[in-house]
């Protein structure tokens, strides 16, 4: 009897350990209908088989044949929700427990040869050293790549209206973000993250949010290879050492109009 009990216990323990990370992901079955929905932004038709991802929660689920899905992840504070589907532009938005408590309907757009996806993944910029009070602390779990993000992109068609679009940004602790209540830090704040195009600074990121667009001056754009760099800010109250502002960015693209 005792041996039997021990066996059950070992089995349970092993199962719990083995499942400890993806347990939440297993609660909703893949392709199971739910209360949230992904639709085509133009036609409002449901999109089956779209991938819905919470990168910071290590959670992902596929939409059912009617485009619906459930989010059975533990959401507490701001977190990024990304949607991927072949033939569509990667999409992301920042949600929180309040938004997730009601049905979410997301419209995604068909991909267009004029728009280039640079990265659909999420990147953590900074030094992995941050206060619990900073914007979105506790949501970070993707790998830190250091203070800079750099990528080469090919551009063939140059027009007057080319934009760098950042799908979602969280964790920015600038004075503006602080004044908007995006963090709980009392005194310190950081310089804004900066965007460079072919080595020239083109913009600063003052706040957290989705779908932020930055115009790229036409004179900086080359036919062929171009370089985009995003550099995070630094804590302006810390002078003893460099404390980079820890931020996370996802879904970076080029939009041409
Ligand atoms: Ca830091
Ligand atoms: Ca931060």
User: How sure is the predictor about 203, in pLDDT bands with cuts at 50, 70 and 90?
Assistant: very high
pLDDT per position as a tens digit, 141-169: 576 789 999 999 999 888 889 999 999 99
- Does residue 23 surpass a pLDDT of 60? no
Is the pLDDT reported for residue 212 higher than 70? yes
**pLDDT exceeds cutoff 80 at 241:** yes
Distance CA 172, CA 163 (A): 21
pLDDT of residue 9: 40
Q: Tell me, in angstroms, the distance from the centre of ligand 1 to residue 229's CA.
A: 19
Q: Tell me: pLDDT of 103 over 90.
A: yes
Count the helices and strands in the chain (H runs, E runs): 4, 15
Q: Which overall architecture, per CATH, does domain 20-111 show?
A: Sandwich (2.60)
pLDDT: is 15 or 226 the higher one?
226
Query: What is residue 98's predicted lDDT score, i.e. its pLDDT?
Result: 94
Q: Is residue 22 over pLDDT 80?
A: no
Comparing CA positions, the residue from 134, 168, 142 lying closest to residue 245 is: 134
- The pLDDT score that the predictor gives to residue 18 is 36
Q: What is the pTM of this model?
A: 0.82
Q: What would the two tokens of residue 44 be?
A: 């409002």
For residues 209 and 172, what is the distance between their CA atoms, to the nearest angstrom? 9
State what percent of residues in the chain have pLDDT above 90: 68
CATH number of 113-257: 2.60.120
Phi, psi (rounded to 5 degrees) for 26:
-90, -10
Q: Are 101 and 219 in contact (CB under 8 A)?
A: no
Ligand nearest to the CA of 147: 1
128 CA → ligand 1 middle, Å = 6
- For position 1, what pLDDT does the model report? 43
Q: Give residue-wise pLDDT tens across range 36-90.
A: 999 999 999 999 999 999 998 889 999 999 999 999 899 988 899 999 999 999 9
- Give me the phi and psi of 168, to 5 degrees please: -145, 140
Domain spans of the chain, in order of start: 20-111, 113-257
Sheet order of strands, 91-95 included: 59-62, 51-54, 79-84, 91-95
- The answer to whether residue 137 scores a pLDDT higher than 80 is no
Rounded Cα–Cα distance for residues 115 and 15 (Å): 45
What's the 129 CA to ligand 2 centre distance in angstroms?
A: 9
Q: Looking at residue 141, what is its pLDDT?
A: 58
Cα 247 to averaged position of ligand 2 atoms, centre (Å): 5
Tokens linked to 193: 């993250």
Has residue 24 got a pLDDT over 70? no
From ligand 1's centre to the CA of 134, what distance in Å?
10
242 C-alpha vs ligand 1 centroid, how far in Å?
8
Q: Which ligand is nearest to the CA of 171?
A: 2
Mean pLDDT confidence for 190-196: 98
Q: Tell me the pLDDT of the chain averaged across its residues.
A: 87
More confident residue, 12 or 54: 54
């Amino acid at each position: 009897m005792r041996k039997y009990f021990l066996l059950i216990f070992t089995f349970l323990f092993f199962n719990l350990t083995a499942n400890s990370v993806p347990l939440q992901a297993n609660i909703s079955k893949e392709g199971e209908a739910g209360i949230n929905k992904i639709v085509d932004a133009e036609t409002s038709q449901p999109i089956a088989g779209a991938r819905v991802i919470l990168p910071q929660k290590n959670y992902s689920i596929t939409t059912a044949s009617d485009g619906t899905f459930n989010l059975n992840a533990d959401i507490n504070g701001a977190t990024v929700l990304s949607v991927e589907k072949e033939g569509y532009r990667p999409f992301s938005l920042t949600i929180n427990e309040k938004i997730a408590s009601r049905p979410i309907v997301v419209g995604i757009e068909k991909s267009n040869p004029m728009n280039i996806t640079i990265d659909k993944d999420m990147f953590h910029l900074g030094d992995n050293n941050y206060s619990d009070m900073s914007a979105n602390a506790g949501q970070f779990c993707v790998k830190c790549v250091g203070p800079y993000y750099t990528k080469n992109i090919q551009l063939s068609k140059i027009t007057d209206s080319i934009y760098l679009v950042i799908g979602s940004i969280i964790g920015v602790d600038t004075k503006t973000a602080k004044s908007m209540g995006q963090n709980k830090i009392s005194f310190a704040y950081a310089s804004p993250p900066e965007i460079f195009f072919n080595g020239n600074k083109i913009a600063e990121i003052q706040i957290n949010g989705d779908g932020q667009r930055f115009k790229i001056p036409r004179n900086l754009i080359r036919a062929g290879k171009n370089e985009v760099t995003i550099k995070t800010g630094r804590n302006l109250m810390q002078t003893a050492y460099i404390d980079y502002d820890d931020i996370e960015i996802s879904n970076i693209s080029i939009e041409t109009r």
